Amino acid sequence: MTDRPEVQYVFLKLPPPISANAIWRSFNRGGRVTAIKSKRYRDWIEAAGKMIQLQNPGKVVGAYGLKIRTPAKCRIDLDNVPKAINDLAQAHGIIGNDRQCASILVERGVDPETLVWFISTKGE
**Integer Cα distance of 102 and 22 in angstroms:** 25
pTM for this entry:
0.88
Displacement of CA 74 from its chain's centroid (Å): 15
Contacts of 102 (CB under 8 A, 6+ apart): 63, 64, 65, 121
Summarised one tens digit per residue, pLDDT across range 2-35 is 689 999 999 999 999 888 888 888 888 888 888 8
Residue 29: CB atoms within 10 A of its CB come to 8
Which residue type does 11 have? F
Domains of the chain: 9-120 (3.30.1330.70)
